Structures are given as C-alpha cells and as structure tokens.
Structure 1
Amino acid sequence: MDPHDHPRSKVLRQFELVEAVRAYDPTADEALLNRAYVYAMKMHGSQLRASGDPYFAHPIQVAGILTDYRLDTATIVTALLHDVVEDTSATRDDIAGMFGEEVASLVEGVTKLSRLELQAEHTRQAENLR
C-alpha cells in the first residue's frame, strides 16, 4: 500500500503518535518513541523529497500507518528510523547505542530490503531498455 493513499497520510505530531501507540499498548516505551521521533526529524533536518515535502514526513507517516495495525514499539521506532542509516550520517552503531540492538537489527533489515528493491528496479529498467 502506498502511504500517500492511506487515510492517515497526514504527518502525526509527536504526541499524537505516542498517544496512538499508547491507546493499544499502555506499556509502550514512551521515551523511546519520543527519542526516535526527535532523532528522525533532527537527522533528516531540512532534506526535501523530489515532491518538495520534508523528508522526515515519510517515516512519520509510515509509523502512523503501522499504529493502525497495532504493532509493537520496536516496529514503530524502526518505521521512524528506517531511512536514517541510508540517507543521513547516522550509522548502525549509532542506532544500536541510542535505541538498542533489536531496533538496530530491524533498521538494518529494512535498509537491506530497500537496497534489494532498488537493485530489482534497476535490473527491470535495464531489461526494458534492452
């Protein structure tokens, strides 16, 4: 599903995202969610997408969509951070140090998946040209 077609395509504010998670998981780690939200915004800074939208809007939208599926805190944090290692100066070790090994492994997995998708897309385009 394209996040832009989802009913929750607006960017949730920090407290709205935390409230959305806490609504189905009262034991959610609020501090971890808050740290990840702030870190994603800080690391992406003023980066803009080709559309002109702020870059950090996408990970926040994805995190918001995942709250609809009532996913755990580590998954929501991973959604917030999923582009950070690939698109900013942050490293896997930075993520592990700030957010724990589980989140670092999840972020690394998402990064590898997106690279595979990109390779597949490039292969498809090359075949089309051929």
Structure 2
Amino acid sequence: MIVSISQKKYKIYNDGFSYLREKFQQGNEFQQGFSELDRIISFSMSCEGTSHLQSVNDILTGSFRYLANGDNPQARKALQKQIEEVMLKSSSGKFKEYGFLLRPKMQKNLPAGVKAEYQMLRSFLNSNNE
C-alpha cells in the first residue's frame, strides 16, 4: 500500500517483517530505484519479553560500553572479569579479531588520536589476561 501525503509518497508496511524482507531482498529505495545492501547478511527482529538473549545482549553491550568509556579503572577491571567468560576470545585468551572486532577494520586512515584510543582499549582488555 502506498499513501500520498502532501505530494510525497510513503510506503505503509503491514508489519515489520515486510519492511525487513524488502530491505534484505531489494535494499534501500531512492528516487532512481533500489540500492542493494551487499554487506548485510541478515536482518532480525525481536522485542522485549520474547527471549533471554535480548537481556543478555543488553547486559553485555552496556557492560562493554562501560569497559570502553568508563572512568573508573578498578570498576572496569572488575566488570571485565565478570563478563569476559561469555565474550569470545582467541585461543590464547586475548580479545583480538576473534569475537571482539574493532571497526573500521582498516585503521590506517584514522586520526592518530583515534588509533591511540583503539590501542589503549585493546591493551586494557588484554591486561587482565597477562
């Protein structure tokens, strides 16, 4: 169904699944047509109260956010010890490009200060394992 509102056309989807199906199969729609999203391998939809995985993801994401940005080093180390067993690490027990992925992957064009922050975060995460 397409609805016209003040000379603009808006698509109305029956549900979120229809929207995600279109995005995955056709990509983003522009005036000149669709642009394929060739880097997307999957779309998913869930909601609160339908899976314990949503809660686990919220806890891990919030905890990792504090690890990366928190201002209390002792709290960061204590928090890391509590969550590191559920986060993927390399076989040597280090957070590297295995489970924990820094993006952008190619960091050569990043400003020097951003590169330094990436390295500080990686060093902090690995400091508990030495």
- Using the size of structure 2 for normalisation, the TM-score is 0.27
Question: If each structure's strand is expressed as a fraction of its own residues, which one has the higher value?
Answer: 2
Larger radius of gyration between Structure 1 and Structure 2? 2
Question: If each structure's helix is expressed as a fraction of its own residues, which one has the higher value?
Answer: 1
Higher relative contact order (CA 8 A, sep 6+): 1
